[in-house]
Structure 1
Amino acid sequence: MAGNSRQSGRSVTERALSVLTAFGPDAHRLSLTEIARRAEIPLATAHRLVGELENWGALQRESDGRYAIGLRLWELGLLAPVHTCLRGVAMPHMQQLHERTGANVQLAVRDGLQAVYVEKLTGRRSTPIISRSGGRLPLHTTGVGKVLLAHASREVVQEYCAHHLSRHTPYTIVEPGRLVRELGGIRRRGFAWTTEEMTLGSCSVAVPVCSGGEVVAALGLVVDSARAEVAKLVRPLSRAAESVGDRLVETTRTTAEVE
Protein backbone atom coordinates (compact mmCIF):
# COMPACT_ATOMS: atom_id res chain seq x y z
CA MET A 1 0.00 0.00 0.00
CA ALA A 2 2.81 2.39 0.84
CA GLY A 3 4.35 1.93 -2.61
CA ASN A 4 0.98 2.49 -4.34
CA SER A 5 0.39 5.57 -2.20
CA ARG A 6 3.78 6.96 -3.15
CA GLN A 7 3.14 6.34 -6.84
CA SER A 8 -0.25 8.06 -6.71
CA GLY A 9 1.40 11.11 -5.17
CA ARG A 10 3.86 11.56 -8.03
CA SER A 11 2.86 13.75 -10.95
CA VAL A 12 3.18 12.65 -14.56
CA THR A 13 6.11 15.06 -14.93
CA GLU A 14 7.89 13.55 -11.94
CA ARG A 15 7.45 10.06 -13.34
CA ALA A 16 8.69 11.08 -16.77
CA LEU A 17 11.75 12.72 -15.23
CA SER A 18 12.39 9.61 -13.15
CA VAL A 19 12.53 7.64 -16.41
CA LEU A 20 15.17 9.98 -17.82
CA THR A 21 17.23 10.06 -14.62
CA ALA A 22 17.25 6.26 -14.55
CA PHE A 23 20.09 6.63 -17.05
CA GLY A 24 23.53 7.53 -15.78
CA PRO A 25 27.29 7.01 -16.13
CA ASP A 26 26.85 3.38 -15.18
CA ALA A 27 23.68 2.90 -17.21
CA HIS A 28 23.90 4.25 -20.76
CA ARG A 29 21.54 1.59 -22.17
CA LEU A 30 18.62 0.10 -20.24
CA SER A 31 15.84 -2.39 -20.88
CA LEU A 32 12.26 -1.43 -20.12
CA THR A 33 12.32 -3.57 -16.97
CA GLU A 34 15.51 -1.89 -15.78
CA ILE A 35 14.02 1.55 -16.41
CA ALA A 36 10.93 0.66 -14.38
CA ARG A 37 13.05 -0.66 -11.51
CA ARG A 38 15.47 2.27 -11.42
CA ALA A 39 12.68 4.83 -11.80
CA GLU A 40 10.59 3.06 -9.14
CA ILE A 41 7.44 3.00 -11.28
CA PRO A 42 5.19 0.12 -12.44
CA LEU A 43 6.20 -1.64 -15.64
CA ALA A 44 2.98 -0.58 -17.38
CA THR A 45 3.63 3.06 -16.51
CA ALA A 46 7.21 2.78 -17.71
CA HIS A 47 6.02 1.28 -21.00
CA ARG A 48 3.66 4.20 -21.62
CA LEU A 49 6.13 6.92 -20.63
CA VAL A 50 9.03 5.40 -22.53
CA GLY A 51 6.86 5.23 -25.65
CA GLU A 52 5.94 8.91 -25.35
CA LEU A 53 9.54 9.95 -24.69
CA GLU A 54 10.73 7.88 -27.63
CA ASN A 55 8.19 9.51 -29.95
CA TRP A 56 9.35 12.95 -28.83
CA GLY A 57 13.02 12.05 -29.29
CA ALA A 58 14.13 12.07 -25.65
CA LEU A 59 14.84 8.34 -25.83
CA GLN A 60 15.86 6.08 -28.69
CA ARG A 61 15.33 2.33 -29.00
CA GLU A 62 18.40 0.30 -29.94
CA SER A 63 18.38 -2.75 -32.22
CA ASP A 64 18.50 -5.09 -29.21
CA GLY A 65 15.39 -3.51 -27.66
CA ARG A 66 17.24 -1.51 -25.02
CA TYR A 67 16.87 2.26 -24.69
CA ALA A 68 19.36 5.13 -24.66
CA ILE A 69 19.12 8.91 -24.30
CA GLY A 70 17.96 10.47 -27.58
CA LEU A 71 19.47 13.24 -29.67
CA ARG A 72 16.65 15.65 -28.81
CA LEU A 73 17.87 15.89 -25.19
CA TRP A 74 21.45 16.34 -26.35
CA GLU A 75 20.37 19.19 -28.61
CA LEU A 76 18.52 20.89 -25.76
CA GLY A 77 21.46 20.43 -23.41
CA LEU A 78 23.69 22.34 -25.80
CA LEU A 79 21.42 25.38 -25.32
CA ALA A 80 22.16 25.63 -21.59
CA PRO A 81 24.07 28.83 -20.69
CA VAL A 82 26.82 26.77 -19.05
CA HIS A 83 27.54 25.31 -22.48
CA THR A 84 26.77 28.17 -24.86
CA CYS A 85 28.48 30.85 -22.77
CA LEU A 86 30.87 29.52 -20.13
CA ARG A 87 32.23 26.57 -22.11
CA GLY A 88 32.46 28.55 -25.34
CA VAL A 89 34.42 31.35 -23.69
CA ALA A 90 36.70 29.02 -21.72
CA MET A 91 37.63 26.50 -24.44
CA PRO A 92 40.35 28.54 -26.23
CA HIS A 93 42.09 29.21 -22.91
CA MET A 94 41.73 25.58 -21.84
CA GLN A 95 43.32 24.47 -25.09
CA GLN A 96 46.25 26.83 -24.57
CA LEU A 97 46.71 25.52 -21.03
CA HIS A 98 46.72 21.95 -22.23
CA GLU A 99 49.25 22.70 -24.95
CA ARG A 100 51.51 24.56 -22.52
CA THR A 101 51.36 22.14 -19.58
CA GLY A 102 50.42 18.80 -21.13
CA ALA A 103 48.14 18.35 -18.12
CA ASN A 104 44.45 17.48 -17.93
CA VAL A 105 42.43 20.71 -17.93
CA GLN A 106 39.05 20.84 -16.19
CA LEU A 107 36.26 23.40 -15.99
CA ALA A 108 33.62 22.88 -13.30
CA VAL A 109 30.67 24.59 -11.64
CA ARG A 110 28.87 23.86 -8.40
CA ASP A 111 25.39 22.37 -8.53
CA GLY A 112 24.10 22.03 -5.00
CA LEU A 113 26.63 19.91 -3.12
CA GLN A 114 28.50 18.50 -6.10
CA ALA A 115 30.98 19.67 -8.72
CA VAL A 116 29.68 19.33 -12.27
CA TYR A 117 32.35 19.09 -14.95
CA VAL A 118 31.44 21.38 -17.84
CA GLU A 119 34.40 20.35 -19.96
CA LYS A 120 37.76 18.61 -19.76
CA LEU A 121 40.72 18.32 -22.08
CA THR A 122 43.18 15.45 -21.92
CA GLY A 123 45.85 13.83 -24.05
CA ARG A 124 47.62 10.54 -24.55
CA ARG A 125 50.43 11.54 -22.20
CA SER A 126 48.15 13.07 -19.56
CA THR A 127 47.57 11.43 -16.20
CA PRO A 128 44.46 9.18 -16.30
CA ILE A 129 41.50 10.82 -14.56
CA ILE A 130 37.97 9.71 -13.66
CA SER A 131 36.15 12.98 -14.31
CA ARG A 132 34.11 13.32 -17.50
CA SER A 133 32.28 16.16 -19.21
CA GLY A 134 28.82 16.36 -17.67
CA GLY A 135 29.90 14.16 -14.77
CA ARG A 136 29.76 14.91 -11.06
CA LEU A 137 32.32 14.45 -8.30
CA PRO A 138 32.47 15.40 -4.60
CA LEU A 139 33.53 18.93 -3.73
CA HIS A 140 36.04 18.05 -1.00
CA THR A 141 38.23 15.64 -2.99
CA THR A 142 39.15 17.68 -6.08
CA GLY A 143 40.93 20.95 -6.72
CA VAL A 144 38.03 22.51 -8.63
CA GLY A 145 35.58 21.21 -6.04
CA LYS A 146 37.52 22.75 -3.16
CA VAL A 147 37.62 26.11 -4.93
CA LEU A 148 33.87 26.04 -5.45
CA LEU A 149 33.21 24.98 -1.86
CA ALA A 150 35.60 27.61 -0.50
CA HIS A 151 33.53 30.32 -2.17
CA ALA A 152 30.13 28.90 -1.23
CA SER A 153 28.00 30.27 1.59
CA ARG A 154 28.62 29.30 5.21
CA GLU A 155 25.36 27.34 5.20
CA VAL A 156 26.47 25.26 2.21
CA VAL A 157 29.83 24.52 3.83
CA GLN A 158 28.18 23.52 7.11
CA GLU A 159 25.73 21.19 5.40
CA TYR A 160 28.48 19.66 3.30
CA CYS A 161 30.76 19.05 6.26
CA ALA A 162 27.90 17.52 8.24
CA HIS A 163 26.77 14.97 5.66
CA HIS A 164 29.09 14.62 2.66
CA LEU A 165 32.68 14.00 3.77
CA SER A 166 33.07 10.57 2.19
CA ARG A 167 36.51 8.95 2.03
CA HIS A 168 37.84 7.98 -1.39
CA THR A 169 41.52 7.34 -0.65
CA PRO A 170 43.58 7.20 2.56
CA TYR A 171 44.46 10.87 1.93
CA THR A 172 40.92 12.25 1.61
CA ILE A 173 40.16 14.95 4.18
CA VAL A 174 37.10 13.83 6.13
CA GLU A 175 37.54 15.90 9.30
CA PRO A 176 35.18 18.94 9.19
CA GLY A 177 37.46 21.25 11.14
CA ARG A 178 40.46 20.46 8.99
CA LEU A 179 38.49 20.99 5.79
CA VAL A 180 37.07 24.33 6.99
CA ARG A 181 40.61 25.55 7.79
CA GLU A 182 41.77 24.50 4.34
CA LEU A 183 38.86 26.31 2.67
CA GLY A 184 39.89 29.48 4.49
CA GLY A 185 43.43 29.05 3.17
CA ILE A 186 42.11 28.63 -0.36
CA ARG A 187 40.23 31.92 -0.16
CA ARG A 188 43.32 33.72 1.16
CA ARG A 189 45.90 32.40 -1.32
CA GLY A 190 43.54 32.22 -4.33
CA PHE A 191 44.04 28.59 -5.34
CA ALA A 192 43.46 25.03 -4.14
CA TRP A 193 45.35 21.80 -4.55
CA THR A 194 44.79 18.17 -3.68
CA THR A 195 47.23 15.30 -3.52
CA GLU A 196 45.78 11.83 -4.11
CA GLU A 197 42.52 12.72 -2.34
CA MET A 198 40.27 11.47 -5.15
CA THR A 199 42.60 9.18 -7.10
CA LEU A 200 45.93 7.71 -6.04
CA GLY A 201 48.80 9.07 -8.11
CA SER A 202 47.06 12.34 -9.08
CA CYS A 203 47.50 15.91 -7.92
CA SER A 204 45.08 18.69 -8.86
CA VAL A 205 45.47 22.47 -8.76
CA ALA A 206 42.58 24.87 -9.33
CA VAL A 207 41.65 28.56 -9.25
CA PRO A 208 38.34 30.43 -9.29
CA VAL A 209 36.84 31.96 -12.42
CA CYS A 210 35.22 35.27 -11.45
CA SER A 211 32.66 37.32 -13.35
CA GLY A 212 30.93 40.38 -12.02
CA GLY A 213 32.59 39.96 -8.64
CA GLU A 214 31.31 36.41 -8.16
CA VAL A 215 32.96 33.02 -8.48
CA VAL A 216 31.06 31.35 -11.32
CA ALA A 217 33.31 28.36 -12.00
CA ALA A 218 36.65 26.74 -11.22
CA LEU A 219 39.47 26.00 -13.65
CA GLY A 220 41.89 23.23 -12.78
CA LEU A 221 44.81 21.08 -13.87
CA VAL A 222 45.44 17.44 -12.95
CA VAL A 223 48.94 15.97 -13.15
CA ASP A 224 50.89 13.02 -11.86
CA SER A 225 51.55 13.65 -8.17
CA ALA A 226 55.18 12.56 -8.57
CA ARG A 227 55.95 15.49 -10.87
CA ALA A 228 53.55 18.13 -9.58
CA GLU A 229 55.04 21.60 -9.21
CA VAL A 230 52.18 23.63 -7.80
CA ALA A 231 53.81 27.07 -8.12
CA LYS A 232 54.57 26.55 -11.80
CA LEU A 233 51.03 25.38 -12.50
CA VAL A 234 49.26 28.18 -10.62
CA ARG A 235 50.72 31.01 -12.71
CA PRO A 236 49.39 29.97 -16.15
CA LEU A 237 46.20 28.69 -14.55
CA SER A 238 45.50 32.03 -12.87
CA ARG A 239 46.14 33.96 -16.07
CA ALA A 240 43.79 31.71 -18.02
CA ALA A 241 41.04 31.99 -15.38
CA GLU A 242 41.38 35.78 -15.36
CA SER A 243 41.07 35.88 -19.15
CA VAL A 244 37.97 33.68 -19.04
CA GLY A 245 36.40 35.91 -16.39
CA ASP A 246 37.13 39.09 -18.35
CA ARG A 247 35.66 37.57 -21.49
CA LEU A 248 32.53 36.49 -19.61
CA VAL A 249 32.01 40.06 -18.43
CA GLU A 250 32.41 41.35 -22.00
CA THR A 251 30.01 38.72 -23.33
CA THR A 252 27.40 39.57 -20.70
CA ARG A 253 27.72 43.28 -21.44
CA THR A 254 27.41 42.74 -25.18
CA THR A 255 24.36 40.54 -24.75
CA ALA A 256 22.69 43.14 -22.52
CA GLU A 257 23.34 45.88 -25.07
CA VAL A 258 21.84 43.81 -27.88
CA GLU A 259 18.73 43.04 -25.83
Structure 2
Amino acid sequence: MRISAEETAEHRSVGDRMLLILDTVAAAPGELGLSELARQTGLKKATVHRLAADLVAHRMLERGGYGYRLGLHLFELGQQVPASRRLRATALPFMADLLAATGEVVQLGVLDGTEIVYVEKLTGRHSVPVPSSVGSRLPVYCTGLGKAILAFEDESAIELVLAAPMPARTSTTITDGKRLLRELETIRDSGVAYDREEGTKGIACVAAPIIVESYVGRGGHRAVAGLSVTGPAQRLHPERLAAAVRTAALSISRLLGPPSLR
Protein backbone atom coordinates (compact mmCIF):
# COMPACT_ATOMS: atom_id res chain seq x y z
CA MET A 1 0.00 0.00 0.00
CA ARG A 2 2.86 2.38 0.87
CA ILE A 3 4.63 4.28 -1.93
CA SER A 4 8.26 3.26 -2.34
CA ALA A 5 11.18 5.65 -2.47
CA GLU A 6 11.24 5.31 -6.25
CA GLU A 7 7.56 6.21 -6.50
CA THR A 8 7.57 9.68 -5.02
CA ALA A 9 4.58 11.99 -5.38
CA GLU A 10 5.82 13.55 -8.59
CA HIS A 11 5.94 10.12 -10.22
CA ARG A 12 2.32 9.29 -9.34
CA SER A 13 -0.77 10.82 -10.89
CA VAL A 14 -3.32 12.62 -8.75
CA GLY A 15 -5.76 9.81 -9.46
CA ASP A 16 -3.26 7.20 -8.25
CA ARG A 17 -2.69 9.09 -5.02
CA MET A 18 -6.41 9.52 -4.42
CA LEU A 19 -7.01 5.81 -4.95
CA LEU A 20 -4.13 5.02 -2.62
CA ILE A 21 -5.75 7.14 0.08
CA LEU A 22 -9.14 5.51 -0.44
CA ASP A 23 -7.66 1.99 -0.38
CA THR A 24 -5.74 2.75 2.80
CA VAL A 25 -8.80 4.15 4.58
CA ALA A 26 -10.86 1.18 3.40
CA ALA A 27 -8.34 -1.28 4.86
CA ALA A 28 -8.35 0.37 8.29
CA PRO A 29 -10.58 -1.12 11.02
CA GLY A 30 -11.66 2.39 12.06
CA GLU A 31 -11.03 6.01 11.23
CA LEU A 32 -7.52 7.06 10.17
CA GLY A 33 -6.02 10.32 11.34
CA LEU A 34 -4.05 12.55 8.99
CA SER A 35 -0.61 11.63 10.34
CA GLU A 36 -1.32 7.89 10.28
CA LEU A 37 -2.78 8.12 6.78
CA ALA A 38 0.35 9.90 5.58
CA ARG A 39 2.55 7.29 7.26
CA GLN A 40 0.71 4.32 5.76
CA THR A 41 0.54 5.74 2.24
CA GLY A 42 4.04 7.23 2.20
CA LEU A 43 2.64 10.53 0.97
CA LYS A 44 3.53 13.89 2.48
CA LYS A 45 1.09 15.07 5.12
CA ALA A 46 0.33 18.24 3.13
CA THR A 47 -0.47 16.13 0.04
CA VAL A 48 -2.78 13.84 2.01
CA HIS A 49 -4.52 16.85 3.58
CA ARG A 50 -5.13 18.46 0.19
CA LEU A 51 -6.30 15.33 -1.60
CA ALA A 52 -8.40 14.15 1.33
CA ALA A 53 -10.14 17.54 1.39
CA ASP A 54 -11.10 17.04 -2.26
CA LEU A 55 -12.36 13.53 -1.51
CA VAL A 56 -14.43 14.84 1.40
CA ALA A 57 -15.89 17.54 -0.84
CA HIS A 58 -17.04 14.84 -3.26
CA ARG A 59 -18.31 12.63 -0.38
CA MET A 60 -15.80 9.90 -1.15
CA LEU A 61 -14.42 10.39 2.36
CA GLU A 62 -16.00 11.66 5.55
CA ARG A 63 -14.40 13.38 8.55
CA GLY A 64 -15.17 11.69 11.83
CA GLY A 65 -14.27 12.58 15.37
CA TYR A 66 -10.81 11.05 15.02
CA GLY A 67 -9.99 11.01 11.33
CA TYR A 68 -11.15 9.87 7.92
CA ARG A 69 -13.57 7.11 6.96
CA LEU A 70 -15.12 6.12 3.64
CA GLY A 71 -17.93 8.35 2.40
CA LEU A 72 -21.48 7.52 1.43
CA HIS A 73 -20.96 8.43 -2.21
CA LEU A 74 -18.72 5.38 -2.68
CA PHE A 75 -21.60 3.18 -1.53
CA GLU A 76 -23.98 5.00 -3.88
CA LEU A 77 -21.63 4.44 -6.81
CA GLY A 78 -21.18 0.77 -5.92
CA GLN A 79 -24.91 0.21 -6.10
CA GLN A 80 -24.86 1.38 -9.72
CA VAL A 81 -22.33 -1.19 -10.95
CA PRO A 82 -24.42 -3.19 -13.48
CA ALA A 83 -23.02 -6.60 -12.55
CA SER A 84 -23.46 -6.11 -8.82
CA ARG A 85 -26.91 -4.55 -9.17
CA ARG A 86 -28.33 -7.27 -11.40
CA LEU A 87 -26.74 -10.08 -9.43
CA ARG A 88 -28.01 -8.79 -6.10
CA ALA A 89 -31.49 -8.03 -7.39
CA THR A 90 -31.81 -11.53 -8.82
CA ALA A 91 -30.38 -13.28 -5.78
CA LEU A 92 -32.13 -11.40 -2.97
CA PRO A 93 -35.53 -13.20 -3.12
CA PHE A 94 -33.81 -16.59 -2.94
CA MET A 95 -31.53 -15.36 -0.15
CA ALA A 96 -34.58 -14.21 1.78
CA ASP A 97 -36.17 -17.65 1.36
CA LEU A 98 -33.03 -19.34 2.69
CA LEU A 99 -32.91 -16.94 5.61
CA ALA A 100 -36.54 -17.69 6.48
CA ALA A 101 -35.96 -21.43 6.21
CA THR A 102 -32.69 -21.62 8.15
CA GLY A 103 -32.45 -18.56 10.36
CA GLU A 104 -28.71 -18.50 9.62
CA VAL A 105 -26.51 -15.99 7.81
CA VAL A 106 -27.03 -16.04 4.03
CA GLN A 107 -24.28 -14.51 1.87
CA LEU A 108 -23.55 -13.73 -1.76
CA GLY A 109 -19.98 -13.32 -2.99
CA VAL A 110 -17.85 -12.94 -6.11
CA LEU A 111 -14.27 -13.88 -6.87
CA ASP A 112 -11.54 -11.24 -7.10
CA GLY A 113 -8.11 -12.78 -7.56
CA THR A 114 -7.34 -14.87 -4.48
CA GLU A 115 -10.16 -13.40 -2.41
CA ILE A 116 -13.92 -13.46 -2.12
CA VAL A 117 -15.72 -10.13 -2.04
CA TYR A 118 -19.04 -10.23 -0.19
CA VAL A 119 -21.68 -8.29 -2.13
CA GLU A 120 -24.76 -9.11 -0.03
CA LYS A 121 -25.47 -10.52 3.41
CA LEU A 122 -28.73 -11.29 5.21
CA THR A 123 -28.96 -12.03 8.92
CA GLY A 124 -31.84 -13.13 11.12
CA ARG A 125 -32.72 -13.20 14.80
CA HIS A 126 -30.72 -16.36 15.43
CA SER A 127 -27.73 -15.50 13.25
CA VAL A 128 -24.37 -15.41 15.00
CA PRO A 129 -21.55 -12.97 14.16
CA VAL A 130 -19.36 -14.13 11.30
CA PRO A 131 -16.11 -12.53 10.04
CA SER A 132 -17.60 -10.97 6.92
CA SER A 133 -19.62 -7.94 5.89
CA VAL A 134 -20.79 -6.44 2.63
CA GLY A 135 -17.69 -5.21 0.82
CA SER A 136 -15.27 -7.22 2.95
CA ARG A 137 -12.86 -9.83 1.64
CA LEU A 138 -11.74 -13.27 2.79
CA PRO A 139 -9.30 -15.77 1.24
CA VAL A 140 -10.69 -18.17 -1.34
CA TYR A 141 -8.99 -21.33 -0.08
CA CYS A 142 -10.64 -21.36 3.36
CA THR A 143 -14.19 -20.23 2.53
CA GLY A 144 -17.14 -22.20 1.20
CA LEU A 145 -18.00 -19.42 -1.24
CA GLY A 146 -14.43 -19.26 -2.47
CA LYS A 147 -14.13 -22.97 -3.13
CA ALA A 148 -17.58 -23.14 -4.74
CA ILE A 149 -16.66 -20.46 -7.27
CA LEU A 150 -13.06 -21.54 -7.80
CA ALA A 151 -14.14 -25.07 -8.76
CA PHE A 152 -15.75 -23.63 -11.89
CA GLU A 153 -13.01 -21.15 -12.76
CA ASP A 154 -10.38 -21.59 -15.45
CA GLU A 155 -6.87 -22.93 -14.84
CA SER A 156 -5.27 -19.49 -14.54
CA ALA A 157 -7.57 -18.50 -11.66
CA ILE A 158 -6.89 -21.76 -9.85
CA GLU A 159 -3.13 -21.44 -10.38
CA LEU A 160 -3.25 -17.92 -8.94
CA VAL A 161 -4.78 -19.24 -5.72
CA LEU A 162 -2.38 -22.18 -5.53
CA ALA A 163 0.61 -19.86 -6.00
CA ALA A 164 -0.44 -17.63 -3.11
CA PRO A 165 0.28 -18.43 0.56
CA MET A 166 -2.35 -20.59 2.27
CA PRO A 167 -1.63 -20.18 5.98
CA ALA A 168 -3.61 -22.24 8.47
CA ARG A 169 -6.34 -20.19 10.09
CA THR A 170 -7.66 -23.11 12.15
CA SER A 171 -6.71 -26.75 12.67
CA THR A 172 -8.95 -27.79 9.75
CA THR A 173 -7.76 -25.26 7.15
CA ILE A 174 -6.69 -26.76 3.83
CA THR A 175 -3.12 -25.57 3.31
CA ASP A 176 -1.95 -28.11 0.73
CA GLY A 177 -2.46 -27.34 -2.95
CA LYS A 178 -2.99 -30.96 -3.98
CA ARG A 179 -5.62 -31.43 -1.33
CA LEU A 180 -7.39 -28.24 -2.46
CA LEU A 181 -7.40 -29.49 -6.06
CA ARG A 182 -8.99 -32.76 -4.94
CA GLU A 183 -11.65 -30.84 -3.08
CA LEU A 184 -12.38 -28.70 -6.14
CA GLU A 185 -12.94 -31.90 -8.13
CA THR A 186 -15.44 -33.08 -5.52
CA ILE A 187 -17.22 -29.73 -5.65
CA ARG A 188 -17.51 -29.93 -9.43
CA ASP A 189 -19.13 -33.34 -9.07
CA SER A 190 -21.54 -32.45 -6.25
CA GLY A 191 -22.27 -28.79 -6.99
CA VAL A 192 -21.73 -27.77 -3.35
CA ALA A 193 -18.79 -26.74 -1.20
CA TYR A 194 -18.29 -26.91 2.54
CA ASP A 195 -16.33 -24.88 5.04
CA ARG A 196 -15.88 -27.03 8.12
CA GLU A 197 -14.44 -24.44 10.50
CA GLU A 198 -11.62 -23.83 8.01
CA GLY A 199 -11.69 -20.04 8.10
CA THR A 200 -12.95 -19.42 11.62
CA LYS A 201 -13.11 -21.82 14.54
CA GLY A 202 -16.71 -22.65 15.40
CA ILE A 203 -18.17 -21.44 12.09
CA ALA A 204 -19.37 -23.80 9.34
CA CYS A 205 -20.78 -23.10 5.89
CA VAL A 206 -22.35 -24.71 2.84
CA ALA A 207 -22.09 -22.91 -0.51
CA ALA A 208 -23.05 -23.43 -4.14
CA PRO A 209 -21.86 -21.74 -7.34
CA ILE A 210 -24.04 -19.46 -9.42
CA ILE A 211 -23.23 -20.54 -12.96
CA VAL A 212 -24.05 -18.86 -16.24
CA GLU A 213 -24.10 -21.41 -19.04
CA SER A 214 -22.80 -19.09 -21.75
CA TYR A 215 -19.45 -18.66 -20.02
CA VAL A 216 -16.61 -20.67 -21.44
CA GLY A 217 -14.75 -22.28 -18.58
CA ARG A 218 -14.20 -25.71 -17.18
CA GLY A 219 -16.68 -28.02 -18.87
CA GLY A 220 -18.39 -25.11 -20.62
CA HIS A 221 -19.58 -23.62 -17.32
CA ARG A 222 -18.26 -20.79 -15.20
CA ALA A 223 -19.37 -19.46 -11.83
CA VAL A 224 -20.01 -15.73 -11.67
CA ALA A 225 -20.81 -15.78 -7.95
CA GLY A 226 -21.54 -18.03 -5.01
CA LEU A 227 -24.35 -18.38 -2.48
CA SER A 228 -23.88 -19.67 1.06
CA VAL A 229 -25.51 -20.36 4.40
CA THR A 230 -23.24 -19.88 7.41
CA GLY A 231 -23.71 -20.58 11.08
CA PRO A 232 -22.24 -22.05 14.26
CA ALA A 233 -20.70 -25.47 13.71
CA GLN A 234 -22.50 -27.02 16.68
CA ARG A 235 -25.89 -26.02 15.24
CA LEU A 236 -25.46 -25.92 11.48
CA HIS A 237 -25.62 -29.21 9.58
CA PRO A 238 -24.19 -28.29 6.14
CA GLU A 239 -25.12 -31.57 4.46
CA ARG A 240 -28.78 -31.13 5.40
CA LEU A 241 -28.85 -27.68 3.81
CA ALA A 242 -26.85 -28.58 0.69
CA ALA A 243 -29.86 -29.35 -1.51
CA ALA A 244 -31.64 -26.12 -0.58
CA VAL A 245 -28.57 -23.96 -1.21
CA ARG A 246 -27.79 -25.69 -4.48
CA THR A 247 -31.41 -25.35 -5.68
CA ALA A 248 -31.41 -21.63 -4.86
CA ALA A 249 -28.11 -21.13 -6.70
CA LEU A 250 -29.41 -23.01 -9.74
CA SER A 251 -32.56 -20.88 -9.78
CA ILE A 252 -30.50 -17.69 -9.69
CA SER A 253 -28.30 -19.06 -12.49
CA ARG A 254 -31.31 -19.69 -14.73
CA LEU A 255 -32.72 -16.21 -14.13
CA LEU A 256 -29.42 -14.50 -14.83
CA GLY A 257 -29.12 -16.23 -18.19
CA PRO A 258 -26.66 -15.27 -20.91
CA PRO A 259 -26.05 -11.54 -20.24
CA SER A 260 -22.51 -10.86 -19.05
CA LEU A 261 -21.95 -10.21 -15.36
CA ARG A 262 -18.22 -9.52 -15.57
Q: TM-score, normalised by structure 1?
A: 0.89
| Aligned position for 2:49 | 47
Unpaired runs of 5+ in structure 2? 215-221
Matched, 1:75 2:84: no
Within 1, Cα distance between the matches of 2:238 and 2:59? 46
Residue range with higher mean Cα deviation, 73-82 or 112-121: 73-82
Identity %: 37
Q: Describe the superposition over 1:9-54 as per-residue Cα deviations: whole angstroms up to 9, x where unpaired.
A: 2221111101111113543312111221222211111111111112
Q: Distance in 2 between matches of 1:196 and 1:231?
A: 14
- Aligned partners of 1:28 and 1:69 also within 8 Å: no
Paired position in structure 2 for 1:194:
195
Q: How does 1:59-208 map to 2 (within 5 A)?
A: 59-62=61-64, 64=65, 66-208=67-209
Work out the CA distance in 2 between the residues paired with 1:26 and 1:45: 19
Task: Return the offset for 1:227.
Answer: 3.5
Task: Give the Cα–Cα distance (whole angstroms) in 2 for the partners of residues 160 and 14 of structure 1.
Answer: 27
Contact 2:148–2:187 under 8 Å retained in 1: yes
Contact 2:145 2:227 in 1 (8 A): yes
Distance 2:236 2:53 in 1: 51
Aligned partners of 1:203 and 1:224 also within 8 Å: yes
- Deviation string for 1:90-128 (max 9, x for gaps)? 111101101011121111100111100111112231233
The TM-score normalised by the length of structure 2 is 0.88
Structure 2 counterpart of 1:41, which letter? Answer: L
Q: Which has the higher helix share?
A: 1
Instruction: After superposition, give the CA deviation of every residue in 1:67-98 in whole Å (9 maximum; x if it has no partner).
Output: 22222222111111243111111111101101
Tell me, what secondary structure is at the counterpart of 1:244? helix
> Is 1:23 aligned to 2:31, yes or no?
no
Distance 2:249 2:26 in 1: 30
The farther-off stretch of 151-160 and 88-97 is 151-160
In 2, distance between residues paired with 1:19 and 1:245?
37
8 Å CA contact 2:26–2:70 kept in 1: the answer is: no
What's the Cα RMSD here?
2.0
212-221 or 165-174: bigger deviation:
212-221
Contact in 1 for aligned 2:114/2:164 (Cα 8 Å): no
CA distance in 2, matches of 1:72, 1:143: 31
State the secondary structure of the residue aligned to 1:22.
helix
